[in-house]
Amino acid sequence: MIWTSLQGNAALAQACCAGGAAYQPARLKLHEDWLVGVSFQGSDELGHADLTGTYHPRAPGTGEQDYTENLLATVRLLERGQVGLTVPFDESNRYAPGLQQFGGGIGDLSLSARWDFLYSNESAHFPGVALLGGVTFPTGVPPESASLPLGANSTGLGAWQAAAGLALERTFFDRVVLNATALVTQGFPRHVTSLDEQVALSVNEQLGTQFSGLFAAGWIFPDEAAVAATFTYSDSLDTRLNGVAVPMSEIQINTLGVAGGFPITDEWRLQATAFWDLPVLSRNHIDSIGGSFTVIRAFL
């Protein structure tokens, strides 16, 4: 392990990864070989932004609460690399005047990878640099295949997705950690067949390329607990139907968050988050407020 070959390794481990554990719970610390975990997330719909960006609070008597339980696993490869698997189980409670439905099932599985070229504070002159990648599998139920009228048992997008990105991280005074992450996500075309007044409609659909940025600022405590404030913004190109871009179909999302990582022992840690989708700079998106709780067991 590179952990054992570094001078001053205890301080470097804290500076490198304690802050990241606040907002990236499945990320391995330097001295960890692999981990498993489970997370629980819940959110409540506040309203939605339409294709012009105009915000609409949810109508009286309507609403949606979404829940996700994730099984997490991450393993270290070749000293500086790590690969993670997320298995989600999604549920939704949706209601409209005179109708309420609850449904769910397995969601879209995802694989993620990270390669740290430089750890935070490993260099005196440069920030930590990591290359990110990921693949999402269409294992969930897409919206057009949902059997319930309100679509409460829809659990996936129905399309393969691939992502690549770059993360920069730097710790100052062994206490303040700053992180900036840029990510590009590309959805692949999928064939969609649905019924409209008993007439079968068949199209090829492809979500537009999504560009995302995460900014985090955190504080690391002496016991390696950490808290962080986060801001995430994403914007996409237009969706394409049968190869033709649909005007004003891009999706814009911006989210404020706060996160905390709390070590129990060297092997066990907890993480909690709260988030709010801001009703400004949002387009074609249902905005929510919610939070999550994660339990991680690491193996050294």
Mean pLDDT of 203-224: 92
Highest mean pLDDT pick, 96-100, 105-109, 187-191: 105-109
CATH code of the domain made up of 2-299: 2.40.160.40
Mean pLDDT of 185-206: 77
The mean pLDDT of the chain is 87
- Lowest mean per-residue pLDDT among 31-35, 192-196, 262-266: 192-196
- pLDDT value of residue 19: 54
- pLDDT value of residue 75: 96
DSSP per-residue letters across the chain = -GGGGSTTHHHHHIIIIIHHHHH-TTPPPTT-SEEEEEEEEEEEEEEEE-TT--EEEPPTT-EEEEEEEEEEEEEEETTTEEEEEEEEEEEEEEEETTEEEEEEEE---EEEEEEEEE-TTTSSSS-EEEEEEEEE---S--GGG--STT-TT----SS-EEEEEEEEEEEETTTEEEEEEEEEEEEPPEEEEEEETTEEEEEEEEPPPEEEEEEEEEEE-TTS-EEEEEEEEEEEPPPEETTEE-TT---EEEEEEEEEEEESSSSEEEEEEEEEE-SSS-BSEEEEEEEEEEEEEEE-
- pLDDT tens digits, 17-76: 555 555 677 889 888 999 999 999 999 999 989 888 888 988 888 999 999 999 999 999
Domain boundaries, the chain: 2-299
In the chain, % of residues over pLDDT 70: 90
Mean pLDDT of 228-244: 92
- pLDDT tens digits, 115-134: 999 998 888 889 999 999 99
- pLDDT value of residue 23: 62
Q: What is the value of pTM for the model shown?
A: 0.86
